[in-house]
């Protein structure tokens, strides 16, 4: 059923992986498909919001009525997110941003050293996109993150909620078969400073509807 809880609100959502180039033909990335973030964008739109979806490289159709900005690496995603967040009420970071990138990008394809069995790629830290948005002192939207965890899921998610100064975090156990990266399903717990609520495992499309209801209520209800 239509849920007009976000009428008049502007929402920005990041989705998918980032790719961090090593050379012209190689990159570091992860298994994020973008399904969770795209489902949230569709649900937010159905709830009446004006939605901008900042997408890493994924092969998904843009949800109807959603403005999509395609990016490749984490710094492009950061720049697009910072720009879009200036005008938004709610920011949701569902993207699996690479935490590190190669320190240098080789101009030519890197050659294998025939006399050596190993090689070392130096990495540097990427900017934390959602923490940057949450740290704003002005034009700060209600800021929601995900926490993709394989162990001590709630404890680690609570740590990220506090460290990144988020308003709410969605803890995502990505160690199970029934959810996480690239699955159509997911299992999550919503956590904020007042407590937590575990949602039953469901399709990402169904979970997205419920998550948008919960987030809208926490962010905008008086």
Does the footprint of ligand PMT cover residue 190 (CB under 6 A)? no
Cα separation, 208 vs 41, whole angstroms: 8
- Residues whose CB falls within 8 Å of the CB of residue 51, separated by 6 or more in sequence, listed in order: 10, 11, 12, 13, 41, 44, 45, 63, 65, 66, 67
Does the footprint of ligand PMT cover residue 143 (CB under 6 A)? no
Element (H, E) at 219: helix 204-220
Cα separation, 76 vs 89, whole angstroms: 21
| Binding letters toward ligand PMT, positions 61-100, x by CB under 6 A | -------------x------------------xxxxx-x-
| Binding letters toward ligand PMT, positions 98-117, x by CB under 6 A | -x------------------
Does the footprint of ligand PMT cover residue 212 (CB under 6 A)? no
| Smallest separation, CB 92 to ligand PMT (Å) | 8
113 DSSP assignment: -
- Residue 50 contacts residue 88 (beta carbons within 8 Å): no
Does the footprint of ligand PMT cover residue 146 (CB under 6 A)? yes
Does the footprint of ligand PMT cover residue 155 (CB under 6 A)? no
Does the footprint of ligand PMT cover residue 33 (CB under 6 A)? yes
| Smallest separation, CB 42 to ligand PMT (Å) | 13
């Amino acid at each position: 059923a239509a849920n007009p809880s976000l009428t008049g609100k502007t929402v920005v959502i990041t989705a998918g992986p980032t790719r961090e180039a090593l050379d012209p033909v190689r990159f570091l990335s992860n298994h994020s498909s973008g399904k969770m973030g795209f489902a949230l964008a569709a649900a937010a739109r159905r709830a009446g919001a004006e939605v901008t979806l900042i997408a890493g490289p994924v092969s998904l159709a843009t949800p109807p009525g959603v403005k999509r900005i395609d990016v490749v690496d984490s710094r492009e995603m950061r720049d697009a997110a910072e720009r879009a967040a200036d005008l938004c009420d709610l920011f949701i970071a569902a993207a699996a941003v690479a935490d590190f990138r190669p320190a240098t990008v080789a101009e030519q394809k890197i050659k294998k050293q025939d006399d050596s069995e190993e090689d070392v790629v130096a990495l540097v830290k990427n900017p934390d996109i959602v923490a940057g948005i949450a740290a704003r002192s002005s034009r700060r939207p209600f800021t929601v993150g995900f926490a993709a965890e394989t162990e001590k899921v709630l404890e680690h998610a609570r740590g990220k909620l506090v460290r990144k100064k988020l308003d709410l975090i969605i803890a995502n156990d990505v160690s199970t078969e029934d959810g996480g990266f690239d699955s159509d399903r997911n299992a999550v717990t919503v956590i904020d400073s007042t407590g937590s609520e575990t949602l039953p495992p469901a399709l990402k499309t169904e979970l997205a509807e419920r998550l948008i209801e919960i987030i809208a209520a926490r962010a905008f209800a008086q």
